[in-house]
């Protein structure tokens, strides 16, 4: 199985990917780690990795041809067209996202940018453009990661049928 987990930073993608990977026996690959391991992108003045979308999309799709049983996880990947079996789109209430990002000491500008993106369904719109409806599984992130995980497992089982 090849899964993509995407959504706004802070919505719970990484936690969900790790739990699903353990439960389903899938290798979890983070977009930033993949980019760094494959010398894709460069760091900007704010020390953030800027990843060229077409380059990482091509590299990941090449990787997916040779590998199965993998979960790809990252927010930039909502803009990519990847050869996956399903896309798990994690969404969150913008107010909950704001609190999470404040707890993580994000800058006021990053909080505003990410809350805005969640508010306008940025990742959702990109996922809907790039994948057929039949491949998209939307999960609403709660403040309880185990609850989000359980909901995702249930939706994945329904998707597989």
What is the tens place of the pLDDT at every residue in 69-110?
999 999 999 999 999 999 999 999 999 999 999 999 999 999
Residue 126 within any structural domain of the chain = yes
Residue 25's pLDDT band (cuts 50, 70, 90): very high
Residue 109 within any structural domain of the chain = yes
CATH of the domain at 142: 3.40.50.300
Q: Give the total number of structural domains in the chain.
A: 1
Residue 155 within any structural domain of the chain = no
Mean pLDDT value across residues 7-27? 95
Residue 116 within any structural domain of the chain = yes
SS3 99: helix
Provide the percentage of residues in the chain whose pLDDT is more than 70.
Answer: 100
Residue 14 within any structural domain of the chain = yes
Residue 159 within any structural domain of the chain = no
Residue 48 or 77, more confident: 77
Query: Domain residues for 133?
Result: 2-28+69-149
Residue 161 within any structural domain of the chain = no
What is the structure's pLDDT at 139? 96
As a whole number of angstroms, the distance between CA 67 and CA 34 comes to 14
What is the structure's pLDDT at 2? 97
- What pTM was estimated for this model as a whole? 0.94
What is the structure's pLDDT at 127? 97
Residue 7 within any structural domain of the chain = yes
């Amino acid at each position: 199985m090849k899964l993509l987990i995407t959504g706004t930073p802070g919505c719970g993608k990484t936690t969900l990917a790790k739990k699903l990977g353990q439960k389903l026996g899938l290798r979890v690959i983070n977009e930033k780690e993949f980019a760094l391991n494959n010398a894709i992108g460069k760091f900007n003045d704010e020390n953030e990795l800027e990843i060229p979308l077409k380059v990482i999309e091509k590299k990941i799709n090449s990787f997916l041809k040779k590998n199965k049983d993998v979960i790809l996880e990252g927010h930039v990947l909502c803009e990519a067209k990847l050869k996956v079996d399903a896309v798990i789109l994690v969404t969150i209430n913008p107010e909950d996202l704001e609190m999470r990002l404040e707890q993580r000491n994000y800058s006021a500008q990053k909080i505003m940018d990410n809350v805005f993106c969640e508010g306008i369904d940025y990742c959702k719109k990109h996922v809907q453009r790039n994948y057929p409806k039949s491949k998209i599984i939307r999960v609403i992130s709660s403040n309880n990661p185990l609850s989000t995980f359980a909901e995702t497992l249930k939706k994945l089982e329904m998707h597989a049928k």
